[in-house]
Structures are given as C-alpha cells and as structure tokens.
Chains A and B, each alone.
Chain A
Amino acid sequence: MSAQRPPIEVRELESLRAELERQAALTDTPRWNANPEDVQRSVARLVLTLVEFVRQLLERQAIRRLEGGTLTPDETEAVGVALMRLEETVRDLAARFGLEPDELNLDLGPLGRLL
C-alpha cells in the first residue's frame, strides 16, 4: 500500500525543516539585552505586539459585524479606513526598529502564543 505513495522530495523536506526552524525561533524566550539599542527594540517589539493584538481583535469584531450585517456602509468604510491606517502604522514602526511581522508575538507559556 505505502509503496504506491509518492515519496517526499528533498526540497519538500528542506522547506518543512525551514518552517519548523522558523516556528521554533519564534518561541524562543525573548532576552533582555543591556545594549541601549536592543532595549529600545525590545520595548518597541512588546508595545507593537500589544497594539497588533488589539488591532486583530478589532478586525475580527469588524468582520463579524460585517458578516452579521450590523454595519452600515458608512460605518464599514470608517472602520475599514481606521484598521487600514492602524496596520500601516504598526508595519512602519516595526520596520523602523528592524522587526519582521512574525516577530510581533509573545509566548505566554502555558497559555500558548498571543497571536
């Protein structure tokens, strides 16, 4: 039975390993570094993660209301513009501190990952 199944290719295994390594790196416990530049970056990462968390909550709530038909066209436009600008702001600030979008997350231990 298993002999008929196509084998996994080396490239596929390599991409799986890269993905697992990426995810493992994201769960590394952040370390506080005394270097002033890294302190700023760590604080920026923490603050931006929390802002991104709130932004995603607002976005999900907006989508739920959109699907539920409880937003007027004007409200949909206003909420959409606000969320769009918030996303741009978070992205711009993250780039200023050299933070990738994947880095805006927190490992909450037994509670899992924030985002």
Chain B
Amino acid sequence: MTRVYLYALLSATPSCETGVGVCAERLRVVAVGGLLALVGDVGEPPEPSAVTLRAQDTVLRRLAAGVDAVLPVRFGTLVADDAALAESLAHRQPQLARALGRVSGCEQMTLRVWGEVIAMAPPADEEAGGPGTRYLAGRRRAHDWAHRVPELEPARRRLGDLVREERVERHDRPPLLATVQHLIPRGAGSRYLDEIDAARDGLRPWRVSVTGPWLAYAFAEDAA
C-alpha cells in the first residue's frame, strides 16, 4: 500500500520537470484548497539520515529553479492519500498562503555568532518598585534580549534592506552564541557575503560564519 509523501508547498506548478523524489518515485503536483502540494507516492518514507536529508534538499532545490516560492515541509511528512492531504492543509490554508507569499522570490542565509563573551543586557532603568515589578521588568528585558542579538547591529546596518525577514535563536553556550536566519532576495547571496565581510571588524569581539543560500527552511514553520 502506498501513501502520500509531502515534500513542499509551491506557489505555482514548476516550469521544469518535477522528476523523481527521494524514493525514486515519480513526483506530482496536487492542487488542494487553493494550495499546490509537491508529493510522491511511496511504500515507506525515507529513513532520516544525512544522505536522505541531502537528497530531499536536492529535489527541492531543483524544483525551486522553476517556481517562485517553495515552502519545504518537515522531512518524513506522510499522509494516507490525497483526501487526507487536503484535510490536513485545509484548516491552515490562510497561514500557509501567507508563508508562501513571504518566501516568494527569496532564499535563506544562516548566520552563526561565535564568541567567548556573552553580551550583557542593558541595565534596567526601572529598578524601582517591589519584587514583583522588578521581576516583570526583568522578564520583559530577557524576552526582548532573546529576540534581538544586539551583537549583530554592525552587520544589520550594512545589510539594510537586503534582509526581508529575520529569525533569531539565542544559545549563549560559548562559543556558539546565536543562530540568525535571514530571508534575502534570490541571487543576492554574494552581496550578502560581501556585506558581512565588510562588517567583520565592527563585529569584534564576536565572530560570525555564514552558510547558504538555502531554501527558506527557517521560515516554513507554518508548513512544518
């Protein structure tokens, strides 16, 4: 018995051949509730491994060349049939359509921030009040801090409008301090790298490394 393996959601039918998937199955594009899903019919889903993960990425990269927006779905996503696929996507259609619009014409660069020193949060200007007030003020600062990575400000100034959207994850486990995902226009990877290189001196004592361009995996949470 075969089941439907979901690879990605697409903004349009790819202009190139859909070709075959990770299990050598013929890929097809299914229209479901205003969305287009790239699927394959498989007996068993591929086992997660470096090889199969790379193979799935290769499939999607090939198709991305023929369509503006590719929203990758979590590896190993399997449904019983096309009807079950339609049902699982129906209630998330608005979010998924928005996510497709967000990644349209874009690709992802991944920036990692390294260093031995964890940046300190700015001192509070609201230390007045009782313990509850101070606690809440501290939580507010911590929340803000977790989503900013101020160490990167010199790079952000240089990147300017090149970055359409940002996702931040703080680790604060030296030397790995943070991972920052940037959504940039397709084809702008070289310019992005040049801007980061130009910002390196201003970023000290922190160091950064860049990988990419990738498909917009970090911006596909709605399709995960």
- Which A residues fall within an 8 A CB radius of B? 1-2, 4-6, 8-9, 11-12, 15-16, 18-19, 59-60, 62-63, 66-67, 73, 76-84, 110-112
Contacts and interface: CB of A to CB of B under 8 A. Distances in A.
A63 B132 contact: no
Contacts of A84: 131-132, 135
B209 interface: yes
A63 B174 CA distance: 29
A111 to B, nearest CB: 8
Contact of A81 (B130, B143, B193): B130
- Which 8 interchain pairs have the tightest Cβ spacing? A80-B132, A81-B132, A80-B136, A77-B132, A15-B176, A84-B135, A80-B135, A77-B130
28 contacts: A1-B194, A1-B197, A5-B197, A5-B209, A6-B207, A6-B209, A9-B114, A11-B175, A12-B112, A16-B112, A18-B176, A19-B176, A59-B139, A63-B143, A66-B136, A66-B137, A66-B140, A79-B132, A80-B130, A80-B133, A80-B135, A80-B136, A83-B132, A83-B135, A84-B132, A110-B74, A110-B88, A111-B224
B129 interface: yes
Interface in B165-224: 171, 173-176, 190, 193-194, 197, 200, 207, 209, 221, 224
Contacts of B197: 1, 4-5
Contacts of A19: 171, 173, 176
Given A19-B171, A80-B131, A63 B136 contact: yes
Contacts of B58: none
B139 A83 contact: yes
A15 B207 CA distance: 14
Interface string B122-135: 00000001111111
Contact of B176 (A12, A67, A73, A78): A12
Nearest to A8: B209
Task: Classify chain B's interface size.
Answer: 20 to 34
A83 B133 CA distance: 11
B57 to A, nearest CB: 16
B2 interface: no
Nearest to A78: B132
Nearest to B115: A12
A12 B176 CA distance: 6
A30 to B, nearest CB: 18
Nearest to A111: B224
B77 interface: yes
B174 A15 contact: yes
A4 to B, nearest CB: 7
Contact of A63 (B129, B139, B171, B207): B139
Contacts of B88: 110
Nearest to B174: A15
A9 to B, nearest CB: 8
A22 to B, nearest CB: 9
A110 B224 contact: yes
A65 to B, nearest CB: 10
